[in-house]
């Protein structure tokens, strides 16, 4: 059963200029995305910096307003809800932010950070707040004495654990994890990924996990959606990633993963050039300006996502025509 379903989601940011502040252009951050996340699932959303993945995530949980499209959470259309209407649902959808340094108020102790979340959503009776804080601190692997400390007294990994505790404080069903480990050392990343995996099993959580690292997603997620310039270009199961990935952009992302043996470089595709400006999108396929398989058709027609296997969809003319 789908806990989150998005259809035709668009997010454009107007650029204003001149004395009157009129709109002169738009940043086309997200361009007609469809997505389904089933209850209990962990879906990865992957792409280069600037491809729109964090913007899409924030639109899906209504931290940003969609320009167009519909978003259903737990069977309820939330895309046009007012803040007051949305507030009861916010308790069931939470976010873990990328920056463990900037996402916590430096003037608040851990106790105050967690108390604020619990009281705002009225998640537990007032007399049970203190006990719930102890439970959350233990749940994320911290010691009880941290509750009276401030964010500057912790390492990056510990701060992210506090951010996870805050997200869990209101008993959510769905968590948007926006690159939650990218700012941390590799050894700390592994610890936090294991923590998130344990919490998923223990609390029956559903994750949308945003990352630029396909290797992390392959290890952590059930399915992956690969995004380029505001479009989903491929989706498939993580079990099939190494053998089944077909889109040229997906292959390049996979080829960019560091390898154990430097002599093992067969069939590794290198991605050249930069992502085009989202202000002035290329015509046709958004990837054709960097694609080694691009032909004239690619410059004119934007390919639709087509089914090429069970749970596997690709938006690529070359794959449709048997060239990729």
pLDDT tens column, 246-284: 999 999 888 877 666 565 555 666 677 778 899 999 999
Is pLDDT of 285 > 60?
yes
Token pair belonging to 78: 């939330």
For residue 123, what pLDDT band results from cuts at 50, 70 and 90?
Answer: confident
Is pLDDT of 236 > 70?
yes
The rounded Cα 323 to chain-centroid distance in angstroms is: 31
With a CB cutoff of 8 Å and minimum separation 6, the contacts of 123 are 91, 117, 132, 169, 170, 171
- Tell me, what DSSP letter sits at residue 239? G
d(CA 160, CA 155): 9
Residue pair 285/317 in contact by the 8 Å Cβ criterion: yes
- Residue 181: C-alpha distances to residues 95, 139, 246 (Å): 13, 18, 27
Average pLDDT over the chain, rounded to an integer: 91
% of the chain exceeding 70 in pLDDT: 96
Full-model pTM: 0.93
Residue pair 22/89 in contact by the 8 Å Cβ criterion: no
% of the chain exceeding 90 in pLDDT: 72
Residue 237: exposed, middle, or buried by beta-carbon count in 10 A (0-12, 13-18, 19+)? middle
Residue 148 has a pLDDT of: 95
SS3 label, residue 240: helix
Annotate 129-142 with b (16+ C-beta within 10 A) or e (fewer).
beebbeebbebbbb
What would the pLDDT profile of 62-105 be if each residue is shown by its tens digit? Answer: 999 999 999 999 999 999 899 889 988 988 999 999 887 888 99
């Amino acid at each position: 059963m789908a806990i989150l379903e998005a259809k035709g989601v668009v997010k454009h940011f107007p650029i204003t200029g001149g004395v009157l502040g009129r709109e002169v252009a738009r940043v086309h951050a997200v361009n007609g995305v469809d997505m389904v996340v089933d209850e209990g699932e962990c879906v990865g959303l992957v792409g280069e910096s600037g491809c729109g993945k964090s913007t899409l995530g924030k639109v899906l949980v209504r931290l940003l307003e969609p320009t167009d499209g519909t978003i259903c959470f737990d069977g309820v259309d939330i895309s046009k809800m007012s803040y007051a209407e949305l507030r009861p649902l916010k308790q069931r959808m939470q976010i873990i932010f990328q920056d463990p340094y900037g996402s916590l108020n430096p003037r608040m102790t851990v106790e105050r950070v967690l108390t604020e979340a619990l009281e705002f959503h009225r998640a537990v009776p007032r007399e049970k707040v203190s006990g719930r804080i102890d439970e959350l601190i233990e749940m994320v692997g911290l010691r009880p004495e941290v509750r009276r400390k401030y964010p500057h007294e912790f390492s990056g990994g510990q701060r992210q654990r506090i951010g996870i505790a805050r997200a869990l404080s209101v008993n959510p069903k769905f968590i948007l994890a926006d690159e939650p480990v990218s700012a941390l050392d590799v050894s700390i990343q592994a610890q936090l990924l294991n923590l998130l995996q344990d919490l998923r099993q223990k609390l029956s959580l559903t994750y949308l996990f945003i990352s630029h690292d396909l290797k992390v997603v392959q290890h952590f997620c059930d399915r992956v959606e690969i995004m380029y310039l505001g479009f989903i270009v491929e989706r498939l199961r993580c079990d099939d990633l190494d053998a089944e990935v077909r889109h040229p952009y997906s292959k390049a992302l996979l080829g960019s993963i560091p390898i154990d043996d430097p002599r093992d470089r067969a069939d590794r595709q290198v991605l050249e050039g930069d992502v085009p400006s989202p202000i002035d999108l290329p015509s046709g396929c958004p990837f054709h300006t960097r694609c080694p398989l691009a032909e004239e058709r690619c410059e004119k027609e934007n390919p639709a996502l087509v089914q090429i296997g069970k749970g596997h969809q690709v938006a690529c003319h070359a794959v449709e025509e048997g060239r990729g």
